Amino acid sequence: MSRASAAIVGIGHTAFARDLGQPERRTALAAIRAALDDAGLAPSDVDGLVRFDLETTSEVEVARNLGIPNLRFFAETGYGGGGGCAAVGLAAMAIATGRASVVVCWRARHRGSGGRPWAATGGRVGGDAQFSVPYGIVRPVDQIALLARRHMHEYGTTAEHFGAVAVACRKHASRNPHALMREPITLADHRASRFVCEPLRKLDCCLETDGGVAVVVTSRERARDLAQRPALVLAAAQGTGPEHYVMTSYHAPRPLATPSTWAARDLFAAAGVAPGDVDVAQIYDVFTPLVVFSLEEYGFCAAGEGGPFCEGGRIEWPDGALPVNTSGGGLSEAYLHGMNLVAEGVRQLRGASSSQVADAELCLVTSGAGVPTSALLLAAA
Amino acid sequence: MSASGAERPLPLPDADTAPYWEAAARGELALQRCDGCDAWRFPPRPGCPRCGSLASRWERASGRGTVWSFVVVHGPVLPAFAERVPFAVVLVELDEDPRLRVVGNLPGVAPARVRIGMRVEACFETVADGVALPQWRSAE
Ligand SMILES: [Zn+2]
């Protein structure tokens, strides 16, 4: 763990709600402000920002509203929810190379009040979507359900396996006062929820959330003098795999091998640790099957065994072998393109989670698996 | 598109994809083949993922395949699809190469009858003046 040169030293978030009743940029600014306060840093200390490509608030808007005097480093990460861990990875690179000293990454999104992006689809559809939208593959859930069904066919994965992911996330959210959905659910509740796109049901889908999350990254040296126990950025990785089509990657040699397969390989190699060393994981959960896929791809079990891995409370706090999404994740805390998963990873390494894994020293955080993706290994200092 | 937004979304061809849709309008399933290595490819694109050649040609495909996966879409959906739900969407693996997987529907087949491994053959659904979608019907 000695090779880590950057650390996450601040985390902040707004309330998570269906409708925050304010412009998205106010949510972004509030989240960033909260993360800096948490770190014990001022806007004048910040010299770098990394934004998501889908973020509607620009870097200069953040800077001019918070009083950041100059941005020496600014960048954006692509592919929506695939880019959250990549943002932190970019920040860590900027710090390691001396391009910046304090970098903030954030995501503010008003998807609860702001409407469904796919609902704007209409007329003539170009690009990759011309081969799927005219047939009714329009929503993200449609796109991922095609892969989920095939996984069930090839490996015997069941709807109950997907349900176990939803139940675990809700159990963890029930302990998190900030989570949007806190009423515990059972496998029967999952089975009773309506189909959205068979084989997936409503409780297989993430929340529609208004909210913002930000994290502050600085050097390991500077972290020693700051307010919080740092979470070291042990490794970061990105991946696409071959012949990728965003959200409709059905044309690669093995469509069930999502970009996570490649990110995982580089991530563990860079960190010099094995999946068995991971104490707790925050796995991108826009839909429950992606957690099943990711457990396989990040090496916690063999291909095809991700479903059974989720049975019997194995991914639940406190007794599971690998507690997953300990704040409730995108399924039950908030769906903010995974930045809340990064924040929860940091909390675990501080010993500050509402579902704290005892002596957690190593946390995996992943980003969206149906798109070009990224991942982080965070370590306790 | 109507003011209500209720018309089905149609493909917007570009220089690389137009031959696919032009063939469909003639009632043919045509696919790209690489001039460098003869590999078939779909969706249409300028370069070959196997050998990197930018030279390609179009050839008529057999139109035979196997259902690789499928879903059954329920609401909420676009207004254009609202009257059809629940409806099935299939991903068909073509006989020419297992990497050729094409999204489509099985018009007239009840969703409960769709299964992975089902043998299908191409048919064509005219959805607007001069616009046809390659579709699928049971070949069993
Ligand atoms: Zn070729």
**Hey, are the CB atoms on A124 and B9 less than 8 Å from each other?**
yes
Query: Using CB atoms and an 8 Å cut-off, which of residues 94-123 of chain A contact chain B?
Result: 116, 118-119, 121-123
Please check whether residue B9 lies inside any domain of the structure: no
- Tens-digit pLDDT profile for residues A192-216: 999 999 999 999 999 999 999 999 9
CB A329 within 8 A of CB A169: yes
CA dihedral (A313, A318, A319, A323) positive or negative: positive
More confident residue, A123 or A329: A329
What is the CB neighbour count within 10 angstroms for residue A17? Answer: 16
| Beta carbons of B12 and A251 less than 8 Å apart | no
CA–CA distance from A369 to each of A241, A248, A250 (Å)?
11, 12, 13
Catalytic residue among A79, A155, A245, A284: A284
CA distances, A82 to each of A148, A258, A344 (Å): 19, 11, 17
**How far is B123 from chain A, CA to nearest CA, in Å?**
14
Q: Measure the CA–CA gap between A39 and A52, rounded to whole angstroms.
A: 22
Q: What is the mean pLDDT of chain A?
A: 97
Segment A89-97 mean pLDDT: 98
Phi, psi at A297, each rounded to 5°: -70, -30
Residue numbers of B between 47 and 76 with CB closer than 8 Å to A: 49, 68-74, 76
Q: What is the mean pLDDT of residues A257-285?
A: 98
Q: Which residues of chain A lie closer than 8 angstroms to B127, CB-CB?
A: 134
Question: Contact B12/A124, CB-based, under 8 Å?
Answer: yes
On the question of pLDDT at A6 being above 70, the answer is yes
The whole-angstrom distance between B89's CA and the closest CA on chain A is 7
pLDDT of residue B5: 52
Query: Would you give the end-to-end CA distance of chain A in angstroms?
Result: 9
Measured between CB atoms, does A159 come within 8 Å of chain B? no
> How big is the A-B interface in CB pairs under 8 Å?
119
A335 belongs to the catalytic site: yes
Average pLDDT rounded to a whole number, residues A294-323? 98
Q: In a mutagenesis test of the A interface, which of B103, B126, B133, B135 is the best target, namely the one with the most A β-carbons within 10 Å?
A: B103
- Whether A284 is catalytic: yes
Q: Is A137 on the interface with B (CB under 8 A)?
A: yes
| pLDDT tens for each residue of A115-132 | 899 998 888 999 999 999
- B81 part of a folded domain: yes
Q: Which ipTM score applies to this complex?
A: 0.96
- Tell me the residues surrounding ligand 1 (ion) with CB < 5 Å: B 34, 36-37, 39, 48, 50-51, 53
Structural domain includes residue B134: yes
Nearest chain B residue to A195 by CA: give it: B74
Instruction: Output DSSP code: residue B20.
Output: H
Mean pLDDT, residues A219-233 taken together? 97
* CA–CA distance, A206 with A109 (Å, rounded to integer): 14
Phi, psi of A166 (to 5 degrees): -60, -40
Task: From chain B, pick out residues whose CB is under 8 angstroms from the CB of A122.
Answer: 1, 5, 7, 9, 78, 80
Distance between CA atoms of residues A286 and A280, nearest Å: 19
Considering only CA atoms, give the Rg of chain B: 16
User: Does the pTM exceed 0.90?
Assistant: yes
Q: What is the mean pLDDT of residues A341-366?
A: 98
Band the pLDDT of A2: cuts 50, 70, 90.
low
- The alpha carbon of B53 and the centre of ligand 1 are apart by a number of angstroms equal to 5
Would you say residue A184 has pLDDT above 90?
A: yes
Is B12 among the domain residues?
Answer: no
Query: Is B18 within 8 Å of chain A by CB?
Result: no
Q: Does the pLDDT at position A179 exceed 90?
A: yes
**SS3 string of chain A?**
CCCCCEEEEEEEECCCECCCCCCHHHHHHHHHHHHHHHHCCCHHHCCEEEEECCCCCCHHHHHHHHCCCCCCEEEEECCHHHCHHHHHHHHHHHHHCCCCCEEEEEEEEECCCCCCHHHHCCCEECHHHHHCHHHCCCCHHHHHHHHHHHHHHHHCCCHHHHHHHHHHHHHHHCCCCCCCCCCCCCHHHHHHCCEEEECEEHHHECCCCEEEEEEEEEEHHHHCCCCCCCEEEEEEEEECCCCCCCCCCCCCCCCCCCCHHHHHHHHHHHHCCCHHHCCEEECCCCEHHHHHHHHHHCCCCCCCCHHHHCHHHCCCCCCCCCCECCCCHHHHCCCCCCHHHHHHHHHHHHCCCCCCCCCCCEEEEECCCCCCEEEEEEEEC
Mean pLDDT value of segment A170-195: 98
pLDDT score of A123: 86
The boundaries of the domain holding residue B108 are 18-138
Contacts (Cβ under 8 Å, ≥6 apart) of B31: B20, B40, B41, B42, B44, B58, B59, B61, B94, B96, B100
Interface check for A126 against chain B (CB to CB < 8 A): the answer is yes
Does the beta-carbon distance from A138 to B77 stay under 8 Å? yes
Identify the closest residue of chain A to B68 by CA–CA distance: A150
To test the contact with chain B by mutation, choose from A131, A135, A254 the residue with the greatest count of B C-beta atoms within 10 A, namely: A135
Is the per-residue pLDDT at A178 higher than 70?
A: yes
Q: Do B10 and A255 touch (CB under 8 A)?
A: no
The mean pLDDT value for A78-105 works out to 97
Residue of A nearest to B127 (CA): A134
Q: What pLDDT shows up at residue B95?
A: 98
pLDDT at B4: 46
Q: Does A193 contact B at CB distance below 8 Å?
A: no
Report the CATH number of the A6-114+207-380 domain. Answer: 3.40.47.10
Region A15-35 average pLDDT? 98
Question: Does B58 map to a domain?
Answer: yes
Q: What is the pLDDT along chain B (140 residues), one digit of tens a residue?
A: 344 457 889 999 999 999 999 999 999 999 999 999 999 999 999 999 999 999 999 999 999 999 999 999 999 999 999 999 999 999 999 999 999 999 999 999 999 999 999 999 999 999 999 999 999 999 99
Distance set, CA B93 to CA A138, A180, A235, A252, B90 (Å):
20, 41, 38, 12, 10
CA A285 from centre of chain: 7
Catalytic residue selected from A155, A245, A298, A335: A335
CATH of the domain at B104: 2.40.50.840
> How many domains does chain B divide into?
1
The answer to whether B91 contacts chain A (CB < 8 Å) is: yes
Task: Answer for the pair B101, B93: CB distance below 8 angstroms, yes or no.
Answer: yes
Question: Looking at the domain assignment, is residue B7 inside a domain?
Answer: no
Q: Are B35 and B53 in contact (CB under 8 A)?
A: yes
Q: Is the pLDDT of residue A169 over 50?
A: yes
| Pairwise CB contact (< 8 Å): B81 & A138 | yes
Residue B10 lies in a domain: no
- With CA atoms as reference, the chain A residue closest to B8 would be A134
Closest chain A residue to the Cα of B13, Cα to Cα: A126
Task: Give the confidence band of A86 by pLDDT, cuts at 50, 70, 90.
Answer: very high
pLDDT of residue B3: 41
Q: Is the CB of residue B1 less than 8 Å away from at least one CB of chain A? A: yes
